[in-house]
Copies of this chain bind each other. A is one copy, B any other.
Amino acid sequence: MKLQSIAERLACRLEGDGSVDIQRVAGIERAEAGDLTFVANRKYLAQLATTRASAVILAAAMREEARPPAGCAALYADDPYSAFAGAVGLFVQDSAPARGVDPLSSVASDVALGADVSVGPFVVIGAGASIGARTVVYPNVVIGRGARIGEDCVLHSHVAVRERVAVGNRVVLQNGAVLGSDGFGFAKQPDGSHLKIPQHADVVIEDDVEIGANTTIDRPAVGETRISAGAKIDNLVQIAHGVTIGRRVLLASQVGLAGSTVVEDDVVMAGQVGVGGHLRVGKGVVAAGKSGITKSVEPGEFVTGYPAIPNREWRKASVIFRRLPSLKKRIEELEQRVAELTRRLAECSPPTDQ
């Protein structure tokens, strides 16, 4: 693809030879001749001088300081990271199953299929389900009875969308994700056994959500589990029954949320964070990796640790944690010195009436 054409599609300002043929998008450390690369972060600017790429996407605001080497054209963008995303998209090779319904699938006769859907082999779609226009269903996906999938979705292989789950438009489900498995709800019986509480209520996935590979989203007994519009959830995440995830929330890999917890809009949780049940994590909260949230968090806080506390406090306390042995030693020395002082003071001062 000609660089001039890429510049036009990405609405970037081109400086350099627009006739060069771009083969690939590459990171700046690996870029070769024929590659388009990018610098979205000032700390990679130093590598710009030696890049072998044929072109580089740069921030318009960094134009004065960011000069590509000779023979490397520049594409200036207001937001180079988004322009990079667009550039990668220009080189995507399609891997979806062909349009239409593969004859080796099992689609109930009453399923409503939108225009231009792709349904791969060994896909099962249960009675009463619906699939929106242009949605791609990769092989070996199973969609339960009465489930509704919106338009322009992508369901990668081995996804399970259980019965009556509702999925919005432009939703991406990575391989092996499970939507609508039974919540972990049991009533303890007098003999110590656990009576299963049937989990048959709703799971709602709103528009523009992405769900990671092998992530699990449980349905509750009553009410609903809801993933709000624009939330992005990474791999191997657990969303328990009755949880609500707000808009544009980011949950990194292996996060686990216990039942009925509410995560408000724009929250960001790093990997392996755990959140207890029936809590509220306020709008815009950030939780560092591995944090364990044991009580509700006010909007805007940045928390860390287990139990999660404000990050600033946690950092200070963690530094001292490591020095606990020396702190203990200082206490022991103080005790000796105070004992010595007490002894000497007794010698020095005349006996009192004690």
Q: Which residues of A pack against B, CB within 8 Å?
A: 25-27, 29-30, 79, 81-82, 84-85, 88-89, 91-93, 95, 102, 104, 106, 120-122, 124, 126, 138-140, 142, 144-146, 156-158, 160, 162-164, 172, 174-176, 178, 181-182, 184, 186-187, 189, 192-198, 200, 208, 210, 212-214, 216, 218, 221-223, 230, 232, 234-236, 238, 240, 248, 250, 252-254, 256, 258, 266, 270-272, 274, 276, 289-290, 292, 294, 305-307, 309, 313-314, 316-318, 320-325, 327-328, 330-331, 334-335, 337-338, 341-342, 344-345, 347-349, 352
Q: Which residues of B contact A163 (CB under 8 A)?
A: 93, 95
Q: Which residues of B contact A142 (CB under 8 A)?
A: 138-140, 157-158, 175
Tell me whether chain A's interface is mostly helix, strand or loop, or mixed. Answer: loop
Task: Flag if B124 contacts A84 (CB, 8 Å).
Answer: no
Q: How far apart are the CA atoms of A331 and B348 in the complex, in Å?
A: 26
CB nearest to A102 among chain B residues? B106
Task: Flag if A256 contacts B272 (CB, 8 Å).
Answer: yes
CB nearest to A334 among chain B residues? B334
CB nearest to A210 among chain B residues? B196
Task: Flag if B223 contacts A212 (CB, 8 Å).
Answer: no
Q: Which residues of B contact A95 (CB under 8 A)?
A: 126, 144-146, 162-164
Q: Which residues of B contact A213 (CB under 8 A)?
A: 160, 178, 181, 216, 218
Sorted nearest first, the 5 A-B pairs with minimum C-beta distance are A348-B349, A95-B163, A181-B213, A142-B157, A106-B121
Q: How far apart are the CA atoms of A338 and B325 in the complex, in Å?
A: 21
17 CB-based A-B contacts, threshold 8 Å: A26-B223, A82-B189, A84-B221, A85-B198, A102-B106, A156-B160, A176-B216, A184-B253, A216-B235, A218-B235, A234-B238, A240-B253, A253-B256, A253-B258, A258-B270, A317-B323, A331-B334
CB nearest to A142 among chain B residues? B157
Q: How far apart are the CA atoms of A341 and B238 in the complex, in Å?
A: 58
Known: A142-B158, A176-B178. A289 touches B316 (CB 8 A): no
Task: Flag if B85 contacts A222 (CB, 8 Å).
Answer: no
Interface contacts beyond A106-B122, A240-B253: sample of 16 additional A-B pairs, CB < 8 Å, sorted by A: A26-B222, A27-B222, A84-B221, A85-B196, A102-B106, A120-B124, A174-B181, A213-B218, A214-B236, A216-B253, A316-B325, A317-B321, A331-B334, A337-B342, A338-B341, A345-B348
